[in-house]
Amino acid sequence: MTRALALCAAAALAAAAYLAPAAGQMKAPAPAQAKAPAPAQAKAPAPAQAKAPGQGKAPAAERDATTADFEKFREVLEADNPAELFEAKGAELWKTPRGPKNASLERCDLGLGPGVVKGAYVQLPRYFADAGKVMDAERRIVHCMVTLQGFDAAELAKQPFSTDTRTPDPVAITTFVAGQSRDMKIAPPQKLPQEREAYAVGREIFFYRAGAYDFSCASCHGEDGKRIRTQQLPNFTRADEAVRSYQGWPGYRMTGGVMHTLQWRLWDCFRQQRFPEPGYVSDSLTALLTYLAVNSSGQVYKGPGIKR
Amino acid sequence: MADPMKIRAKLDGDVLDVRVLMAHPMETGQRKDAAGNVVPLHFIQTVTAQLNGKTVLQADISQAISRNPVFGFRLKGAKAGDKLAIAWVDNKGDKRTDEITVGAG
């Protein structure tokens, strides 16, 4: 515990040196709100996030005709999102008695009390005393599937991501749960020491350079104006762009017609950085998700999204 | 029956703007799976729309239509309280029907 805290302090110092001090710099535990005085690059009119398309808007200085076209394209797509089909599937899985214990998930406590789904997704990750751990949405759902329904955790971890022919149950259920927080403000709790520790560890991981290319999450997502090919990379350390890490996930990816959650997205980030594979619903991913969720606090979550 | 559709219908005067989201793999029969075997042809062949039991639209579609397709069309002569039913049948004989009641515009 002490070593972890010392590392966190060191990481915080390292982070401050690594990134040029900017008005939008995140500080633990409570990050700056979205409407804080914005640096020069922030978008000029700041419309209510609820009106913006799922992916959010690039800073005004970079917005051009191509980006405007992409955003219009996304708005049209979001009108009828196949993710809704997975929300419906997840809703069915939630109430159907299944597994060795032949029980439904209706007694699953996602943080707001047993069976309370509405609003739960935007108040995760959080600490759960019954598990002694901070958990994100998918991790908590898997926990409930194991404890309430008797499913085997190792089996669920074997092939946890969607393919073109199979959508794992936790993915559909997470999509359903996420949809029940549609149009609500992202508000993960940071009251308990374990929750604050998860944020600090997540931030350390975010800035930790490793792997064959010496990448960290911050390599791509720690500065303004970065881009990979045609994909603009939001700066997750800024309050007004951090929500783009959260918004749109779980997301339906049209390529292959697959439903993906944040567990998949972070796994894929690790793969792209040529890092070792992170454990499914592991502590490190929960910590990273806590960092991203807390950074997005106050922004409106518009529900499952759609992607290329 | 197959997985349910999501039907949205917005009334503007007497014109009903309908969008149907259908859950279907829509396999072209030209894809190969990880093992190298061809994934068999499996797609919705016909879509019909009925307003209060009367067929108002019939579409014959092909495997060129994408997975989980969205079908949008406009229907004249609808009013609030009408029953709109959409049905599809695929090349394997699997089918699905869903119905909604048209809300006020």
Q: What is the pLDDT of residue A11?
A: 44
Which pLDDT band holds residue A62 (cuts at 50, 70, 90)?
low
ipTM for the predicted complex: 0.87
Q: What angle do CA B5, B10, B11 make, to 5 degrees?
A: 135
Mean pLDDT of A158-183: 96
Mean pLDDT of A67-74: 76
Contact present, A66 and A106 (Cβ < 8 Å): no
Domain boundaries, chain B: 6-30+38-101
A251-307 pLDDT, tens digit per residue, is 999 888 999 999 999 999 999 999 999 999 999 999 999 999 999 999 999 999 998
Q: Does B25 touch chain A (CB under 8 A)?
A: yes
Average pLDDT, chain A: 83
For residue A172, count CB atoms less than 10 angstroms from its CB and return exposed for 0-12, middle for 13-18, buried for 19 or more.
buried
Contact present, B21 and B68 (Cβ < 8 Å): yes
Which pLDDT band holds residue B3 (cuts at 50, 70, 90)?
confident
Q: What is the pLDDT of residue B105?
A: 65
Mean pLDDT of A110-139: 97
Task: Reply yes or no on whether the pLDDT at A18 is more than 70.
Answer: no
Mean pLDDT of A94-117: 97
Give the residue with greater pLDDT, B103 vs B45.
B45
Of these residues, A8, A144, A217, A269, which one is catalytic? A269
Mean pLDDT of A150-172: 95
- Measured in residues, chain A has a length of 308
Domain boundaries, chain A: 53-308
A176-233 pLDDT, tens digit per residue, is 999 999 999 999 999 999 999 999 999 999 999 999 999 999 999 999 999 988 888 9
Q: Does A85 touch chain B (CB under 8 A)?
A: yes
* Residue the block writes with tokens 């509405």: A118
Which pLDDT band holds residue A60 (cuts at 50, 70, 90)?
low
Is B3's CB within 8 Å of A84's CB?
no
* Residue the block writes with tokens 């807390």: A294
Least CA distance to A77: which residue of chain B?
B70
Q: Does A255 touch chain B (CB under 8 A)?
A: no
Closest CA to A123 of A106, A140, A142, A107: A140
Which pLDDT band holds residue A44 (cuts at 50, 70, 90)?
very low
* CA distance to A46, A228, A230, B19, B66, per residue, from A72 (Å): 18, 20, 16, 19, 21
- Measured in residues, chain B has a length of 105
Q: What is the pLDDT of residue A45?
A: 38
Q: Which of A85, A164, A252 sits opposite B6 (nearest CB)?
A: A85
CA distance A155 to A63: 45
Q: Of A2-11, A138-147, B85-94, where does mean pLDDT reach its minimum? A: A2-11
Contact present, A240 and A246 (Cβ < 8 Å): no
Task: Report strand pairing: A248-253 vs A304-307.
Answer: parallel
Q: What is the pLDDT of residue A19?
A: 37
Task: Report strand pairing: A300-301 vs A184-185.
Answer: antiparallel
Which pLDDT band holds residue A74 (cuts at 50, 70, 90)?
confident
Q: What is the pLDDT of residue B33?
A: 84
Q: How many CB pairs (< 8 A) connect A and B? A: 35
Q: Which of A89, A254, A257 sits opposite B3 (nearest CB)?
A: A89
Q: Does B74 touch chain A (CB under 8 A)?
A: no
DSSP alpha helix (H) spans, A19-136:
65-79, 83-95
Which pLDDT band holds residue A63 (cuts at 50, 70, 90)?
low
Task: Reply yes or no on whether the pLDDT at A35 is more than 80.
Answer: no
Q: What is the pLDDT of residue A232?
A: 87
Which pLDDT band holds residue A16 (cuts at 50, 70, 90)?
very low
Contact present, B14 and B79 (Cβ < 8 Å): yes
Q: Which of A85, A252, A254 sits opposite B3 (nearest CB)?
A: A85
Q: Which CATH architecture has domain A53-308?
A: Orthogonal Bundle (1.10)
Q: What is the DSSP string of A143-187?
A: HHHHHTT---HHHHHHS-S--SS---HHHHHHHHHHHTTTTEE--
Mean pLDDT of A15-40: 39
Q: Which CATH superfamily is domain B6-30+38-101 in?
A: Immunoglobulins (2.60.40.10)
